[in-house]
A and B are shown apart, each in its own frame.
Chain A
């Protein structure tokens, strides 16, 4: 299970969410364990059934004004009741200040209160987006990710089959490299996003040459930071008895983090220009997305032709004198 330390969250994100710390720094030891946010309106009102205490608690203008409307001793008791639960932290929006008793109890019971200058709605959305991204299911895959005519193609295959060389050829043809060798894939809603697993830049290893820097060599137009994954191409050595796709009517799919993407098993043999085939795969993918399937159109034409011919034949056959 992934966790984010509140201290780390506060230190790295305080500018982005314009945060300041209300309580003392030793309250920052808690951890955030899920991507959800909660507005604890009902809990403040005293209703604790199904109180989502493990989420970050957001206090907006309504919550603060409700707290201020309570009598001092009621407020103290209620806050104490809430603070018994394990809560990662509270974030107060619009730069509002929390009641003194709440601040005192938070310090006593080690629960961080942060204050954000952003409006509740704005904070809610941007914080949610950030948490979605952090807690998104992810996976690393051995392969190379390229953007060919706007189609994100993941090239996989055994070591030494020529993934990098193929990507290099594509870059030379004006396509863009996202990352070579280790692709980090994240699930964002229903879309797979691929990027590099580090921020070193766009480096690549070419056997016999060593490391090269694609961005320096081919310019910024050859590099891209992330790309949606649209299709996978698995390069494999040519095998005589393997059943390769010939028409393209039946699509194969591969499951990555629960999302199905089309996969093409591409045999490679010396002298074969794989990058041209990659371009063709990309263009075919675009055509299919727009509703044109070459394999279907061709087979339909063939069928119509066959039907027409058999009609003529039958008519001639039936025409007995």
Chain B
């Protein structure tokens, strides 16, 4: 299991488009993927789940991956966050 903490750097926060990108990226992998914000933990492969977090600009998220391809999953998701989903 890998855990990684990241901070949301795009100004608009995790709205529908970034949420879709994350879910689409995560579902390619076989590992389980969860995202934690404060005391809420959701399934990172579910679009409603990711949007439920309502994660705003500069909020902290913990990515948790568990499975055979967990490293690749975390790497791709982290890159997505780092690229600010192609936004400002």
Contacts and interface: CB of A to CB of B under 8 A. Distances in A.
A205 B46 contact: yes
Interface in B39-59: 39-43, 45-49, 52, 54
Instruction: Classify the interface of chain A: helix, strand, loop or mixed.
Output: strand
Contacts of A140: 39-42
A216 B31 CA distance: 36
A interface, size bucket: 10 to 19
Contact of B39 (A138, A181, A182, A211): A138
A142 B46 contact: yes
A180 interface: yes
Nearest to B45: A159
A313 B41 CA distance: 63
A31 to B, nearest CB: 17
19 contacts: A138-B39, A140-B39, A140-B40, A140-B41, A140-B42, A142-B42, A159-B43, A159-B45, A159-B46, A160-B45, A180-B48, A181-B42, A181-B48, A182-B48, A182-B52, A197-B40, A203-B48, A205-B47, A205-B48
A244 B20 CA distance: 36
A45 to B, nearest CB: 40
A197 B55 CA distance: 13
B27 interface: yes
A-B pairs, top 9 by smallest CB distance, nearest first, are: A181-B48, A142-B43, A159-B45, A182-B52, A205-B48, A140-B40, A181-B49, A205-B47, A182-B49
Contact of B27 (A159, A180, A205): A159
Contacts of B43: 142, 159, 181
A315 to B, nearest CB: 62
Interface in A134-168: 138, 140, 142, 159-160
A314 interface: no
Contacts of A62: none
A198 interface: yes
Contacts of A211: 48
Contacts of A282: none
